Amino acid sequence: MDLTVLAVSGCPNVPVLEQRLAEALSGRPGVTVARRVIADAAEAARQGMHGSPTLLVNGQDPFAAPGAVPAVACRMYPGENGRMEGAPTVDALRRVLDQASAQG
């Protein structure tokens, strides 16, 4: 499984994503996470970043809404109780990781 975190420099939500991702990856030995700092809109488009932070799983953004466009901006994700948060929940990350593992 190939995981990559895309973010703009200084994004305050990256530590939140990384902590939640570490929790979701607990018990999954051998999974590494690459990190890329995105500098501009052209690079965001090339890399597939739909806001900062974006998690790519096997090169795809599993949290992208249909029609989402590349963006160099803060990204919000649905959280618990309908609130928007700066990173996916641990449960949402686990579901995505389980799906990716099942697909091989």
**Residue range 3-18: mean pLDDT, rounded:** 97
Global confidence as pTM: 0.93
Domain hosting residue 62, numbered range: 3-103
- End-to-end CA gap in the chain: 8
- Predicted confidence at residue 29, as pLDDT, reads 84
Angstrom CA distances, 94 to 26, 44, 55, 74, 90, stand at: 10, 25, 13, 22, 6
Our count of domains for the chain comes to 1
- Predicted confidence at residue 104, as pLDDT, reads 64
Residue 97 has pLDDT above 90, yes or no: yes
